[in-house]
């Protein structure tokens, strides 16, 4: 059994990007990311801080817009409009979830598709569906990188994704399909879940429930990727996979933390660099 070191793989990806940002800077091209956070959700604050830290490490200019909980739609849309038109900003990310009174869909739609480094805008989602994309969805792209690092071929394999969210499950399934896997998407209404997942050569768990995937659900020798980040009552972070028991059964497995999480940020940085190149006619 091999533990996939997401931290190390992310560090390698970020180092490549750091060199690319430096080369762009030599040509007089800067790279800038705007991060919007509304309210005081503690998990969102941690994610935003990590994104800012990654920008600093890579030489990407980051601008944080921390707005109060009672921000109105008008105020938020005005900020997005300003950033859409701001030359020094190549990528715009609005951290989700937003406070309940704000319309997430309208916010995603307002971000210019050229600056939508999350790839959440319907134009970018559509491009992913067709297989002709500018921006890769960050978490699924990070997972693909982790799978590739195992050396396990994706083509023709049975891949099962548990979870059908717009952020992870759906785009994850598309990326696997583009790589010629046979893909099954499971969700809360799926019957005989264990029967389906135990046929997976590659199993991706994006459920949001601690220790949901147990050894009886996993095929001997499978690659298991855990996208979950769940906080236990003790404060400890844990994934969707019962790591200690499942690890004995699979060929490769990601830990939580230190698996898929760090990769998501590296892919966000990659999208920001792509955005800057496109906006400067370098792609």
CB of 139 to ligand GUN, least distance (A): 6
Active site residue 216: no
Structure tokens at 115: 């600056």
Nearest to ligand GUN of 113, 215 (CB atom): 113
What does the radius of gyration of the chain's CA atoms come to, in whole angstroms? 19
Nearest to ligand GUN of 118, 242 (CB atom): 118
Structure tokens at 184: 């099954």
Binding interface with ligand GUN (CB under 6 A): 93-96, 118, 138-139, 167
Nearest to ligand GUN of 139, 274 (CB atom): 139
CB of 111 to ligand GUN, least distance (A): 10
Closest by alpha carbon to 267, among 230, 210, 227?
Answer: 227
Nearest to ligand GUN of 204, 222 (CB atom): 204
Question: DSSP state, 67?
Answer: E
Are 213 and 204 within 8 A, CB to CB? no
CB of 191 to ligand GUN, least distance (A): 29
CB of 280 to ligand GUN, least distance (A): 24
Phi, psi of 32 (to 5 degrees): -135, 135
Nearest to ligand GUN of 48, 196 (CB atom): 48
Active site residue 170: no
- Inter-CA distances, 62 with 9, 67, 170, Å: 23, 16, 29
Phi, psi of 204 (to 5 degrees): -115, 120
Return the bridge partners of 102, or none.
Answer: none
**Rounded Cα distance, 144 and 141, in Å:** 5
Active site residue 118: yes
Question: DSSP state, 204?
Answer: E
Cα–chain-centroid distance for residue 209? 18
| Alpha-helical regions (H) of the chain | 6-26, 42-58, 73-84, 104-110, 122-130, 138-150, 169-178, 193-197, 243-246, 260-279
CB of 138 to ligand GUN, least distance (A): 5
Q: Which of 115, 116, 118, 170 is catalytic?
A: 118
CB of 95 to ligand GUN, least distance (A): 5
Place of tokens 């997972």: 143
Nearest to ligand GUN of 117, 162 (CB atom): 117
**Chain residue whose CB lies nearest ligand GUN:** 96
Cβ-based neighbour number of residue 85 at 10 Å: 9
Name the residues annotated as catalytic. 51, 95, 118
């Amino acid at each position: 059994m091999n533990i996939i070191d997401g931290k190390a793989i992310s560090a390698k990806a970020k180092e490549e990007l750091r060199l690319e940002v430096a080369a762009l800077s030599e040509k007089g091209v800067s790279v800038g990311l705007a991060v919007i956070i509304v309210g005081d959700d503690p998990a969102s604050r941690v994610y935003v801080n990590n994104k800012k830290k990654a920008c600093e490490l890579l030489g990407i200019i980051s601008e944080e817009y921390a707005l109060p909980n009672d921000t109105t739609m008008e105020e938020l849309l005005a900020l997005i409009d300003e950033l859409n038109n701001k030359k020094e900003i190549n990528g715009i990310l609005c951290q989700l979830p937003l406070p309940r009174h704000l319309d997430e869909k309208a916010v995603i739609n307002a971000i210019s598709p050229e600056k939508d480094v999350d790839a959440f805008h319907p134009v970018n989602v559509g491009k992913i569906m067709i297989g002709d994309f500018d921006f890769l969805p960050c978490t699924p792209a990070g997972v693909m990188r982790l799978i590739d690092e195992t050396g396990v071929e994706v083509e023709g394999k049975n891949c099962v994704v548990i979870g059908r969210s717009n952020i992870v499950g759906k785009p994850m399934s598309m990326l696997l399909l583009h790589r010629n896997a046979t893909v099954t998407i499971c969700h809360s209404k799926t019957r005989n879940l264990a029967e389906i997942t135990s046929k997976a050569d590659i199993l991706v768990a994006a459920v949001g429930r601690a220790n949901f995937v147990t050894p009886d659900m996993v095929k001997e020798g499978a690659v298991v990727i855990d996208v979950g980040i769940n906080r236990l009552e003790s404060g400890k972070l844990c994934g969707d996979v019962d790591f200690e028991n499942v690890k004995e059964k699979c060929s490769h497995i990601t830990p939580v933390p230190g698996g898929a999480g760090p990769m998501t940020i590296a892919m966000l940085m990659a999208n920001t660099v792509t955005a800057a190149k496109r906006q400067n006619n370098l792609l």
